[in-house]
Structure 1
Amino acid sequence: MKISVITPVYNAEKYITQAVESALQFDEVYEVILVEDQSPDHALEVCKSLAEKYDRVQLFQHPDKGNHGAGASRNLGLEKATGDFIAFLDADDYYLPNRFEAEKELFKKPEVEGVYGALGVHYYSEKAKDQFYSLFGDRLTTVYKKHSPKDVFRGQLGMNGSFGLFSIDALTIRKSALDKKLSTMMKTHLRLHQDTEFLFRLSYYLDLYPGILDQAVAIRGVHESNRITQVDSGKIKPSLSRVMLWEEIKNWSENEPSVSEDIKRHIQRMHRSFQIANNPFLKKWGMIGKYLLLDFKSIRSGLYNINFRKELF
């Protein structure tokens, strides 16, 4: 196996060395491609040092040396990759020693186009843990049981009951399948969820197989200055970003002739639900409609309930 590991780098001077060295522990990793995205800290200097120290580390920036986001940075990494397989690693995350154990066996079968595993979590500080424990806990981000490739897309959409999730850090893809079956890589106009949208389309076009699901193969590093803090601080509205995500998925499904009607209807419902959640006016009338449909009697009592009145007025 010759694996290209793609890492977008932004504001990660404290963590990028750990990430790179966690990837270089594997003989199968042919190259680590760093795409520095005009970091406000000293990440570029650290990346230069790593590229000088390790032959397998390559450093790139965007042609204009500007900041273009994680999606565009991963796309540039994909353009530069020369390995037979692609893996991703965020600059503040790291691989565990079992990262490619399942892949080494599964990719011996030509029908296997991708393998996904489980992601753990590490808090770099007590402050980060206090702030984000309710979001991540100590749980694995994983698919709950082994599914056939044909079920993965529906499972991610929430159409197969309790399916679970896998992360891009725990995914490995056969590059020839990616180049052949995906005409568009990550959507660069999405501020958040570029990877989620990419994984949806990827699981539709490629046959993805489960690897190690009951223990972590990579670790999500959580700290005060990574991307999720922008959501928490209000710089990025999570509800709006989800509307944009499902808008993108809806547009894709409507323009992909092979998508079935039941999938299109499900995607439309998901898109509509997030539109309502992001629109205060629609949210209030949606709540009234819910009461009217499910429990007309509670409307009367609800109007005199202080919490209901705060929501409504």
Structure 2
Amino acid sequence: MNISVIIPVYNASEFLEKAVDSALQFEEVKEIVLVEDKSTDNSLEICQKLGLKDSRITLYQHPDKGNHGAGATRNLGLEKAACEFISFLDADDYYLPNRFEAEKEIFKEQKVEGIFGAIGIEYLSEKGRKEFQDKFKNISLTTVNFPAEGEDVLKGLLGLTSKMFGTFFHLNTLTLRKSALMKNNLRFNENLRVHQDSDFIIKLAYHCYLKSGVIDKAIAIRGVHDNNRITKIIRYSPQYNQRQSLLWKSLNDWADSNPLPPDCKRKIYLTYKSFDLSLKTGFNKYLCTFIEAIKNPQIIKTQYRFTYLNR
């Protein structure tokens, strides 16, 4: 295997070198693509020093040297990556020694275009730990609950399997054939400043044949610290609803132009409308109504008769 590891860099000076070193440990990693997004700390200087450390490390910035967000930054990395396989790593996280263990065997199956696994957690500050646990309880492993591949991955991510599939798998655990991305013209939605990873993963699960790899133990570690954006937003707050509405609108627009299975289209549409309505009304009770309707289709048939449910 030959792998390009794409690392978007923004204000990560404290963690960046550890992230890069964790990728350099693998013979399969032939290239580390650092894409610096106009940090306000000394991340750019560290990137430049790392580039002198190993010939596998290349550094890029946006043409205007500006800040464009994680989506655009990863897209630039995809454009520059030269290897047959692509993997991602956040600059405040790191790989474990078993990171590409499953890939060596599973990618021998030509139909498999992407492999994902489980990610663990390291608390880097007490404040970060408290914020994370307040939002996600005592989750120590972000993973899926059972092996899956093909369409079952898409349906699992949308909550349409007979048993709970689990949480979204993390980009840090995803390895892809670059040819599959190019064939399907898959990129991150640059209009989403947050959740562009969730948007990308759901679209990827439809367009590409994904298969689970190591899901019972961590293959990478997510660093939890004071500045993790995902822990700052209170669930079902106006800001949370706004960000979720933007995510599901992006997915709904995409679903309208692709022949997804009907149950997948319906789930995306209902989820989008739930957040959109909650945002417009300011009342979370409507959101709860839609979530219950999505969980139990019988409710749609009997108690709640919204005309757009039959769209």
TM-score, normalised with respect to structure 2: 0.87
Q: Is the 8 A contact 2:112 2:211 kept in 1?
A: yes
Q: Is the 8 A contact 1:5 1:87 kept in 2?
A: yes
Cα deviation, residue 282, structure 1: 4.7
What letter matches 1:211 in structure 2?
G
Cα deviation, residue 7, structure 1: 0.5
Cα deviation, residue 130, structure 1: 1.8
Match of 2:260 in 1: 259
What letter matches 1:43 in structure 2?
S
Q: Is the 8 A contact 1:230 1:236 kept in 2?
A: no
Select the residue among 170, 173, 178 that pairs with 1:175: 178
Cα deviation, residue 284, structure 1: 5.3
What letter matches 1:3 in structure 2?
I
Counterparts of 1:288 and 1:244 in 2: how far apart (Å)? 20
Cα deviation, residue 280, structure 1: 4.1
Q: Is the 8 A contact 2:7 2:91 kept in 1?
A: yes
SS in 1 for 2:220: strand
Counterparts of 1:222 and 1:149 in 2: how far apart (Å)? 31
Match of 1:122 in 2: 122
What letter matches 2:102 in structure 1?
A
- CA spacing shift, 1:57–1:167, aligned 2, 3 Å: same
**Percent of pairs with identical residues:** 48
What letter matches 1:266 in structure 2?
K
Deviations 1:46-101 (A, max 9, x none): 11110111111110000000000000000000000001100000000100000000
Q: Is the 8 A contact 2:35 2:60 kept in 1?
A: yes
- CA spacing shift, 1:236–1:38, aligned 2, 3 Å: farther
Structure 1 window deviating more from structure 2 (31-40 vs 234-243): it is 234-243
- CA spacing shift, 1:101–1:278, aligned 2, 3 Å: same
Counterparts of 2:194 and 2:82 in 1: how far apart (Å)? 27
- CA spacing shift, 1:209–1:52, aligned 2, 3 Å: same
Match of 2:204 in 1: 202
Q: Is the 8 A contact 2:248 2:271 kept in 1?
A: yes
Uncovered stretches (5+) of structure 2, i.e. residues with no partner = 292-298, 300-311
Q: Please state if 1:190 is matched with 2:192.
A: yes
Counterparts of 1:8 and 1:36 in 2: how far apart (Å)? 6
Q: Please state if 1:69 is matched with 2:69.
A: yes
Q: Is the 8 A contact 1:2 1:30 kept in 2?
A: yes
Structure 1 window deviating more from structure 2 (265-274 vs 54-63): it is 265-274
Counterparts of 1:289 and 1:125 in 2: how far apart (Å)? 37
Counterparts of 1:289 and 1:205 in 2: how far apart (Å)? 27
Q: Please state if 1:217 is matched with 2:227.
A: no
What letter matches 1:79 in structure 2?
E
Counterparts of 2:37 and 2:193 in 1: how far apart (Å)? 14
Structure 1 window deviating more from structure 2 (111-120 vs 277-286): it is 277-286
Q: Is the 8 A contact 1:85 1:175 kept in 2?
A: yes
Deviations 1:251-291 (A, max 9, x none): 101111x223332222111111212333444545677999x
What letter matches 1:116 in structure 2?
F
Q: CA RMSD in A?
A: 2.4
Counterparts of 1:6 and 1:26 in 2: how far apart (Å)? 14
Cα deviation, residue 111, structure 1: 1.2
Counterparts of 1:155 and 1:97 in 2: how far apart (Å)? 28
Cα deviation, residue 191, structure 1: 1.3
What letter matches 2:225 in structure 1?
H
Cα deviation, residue 175, structure 1: 0.9
Aligned residues: 290
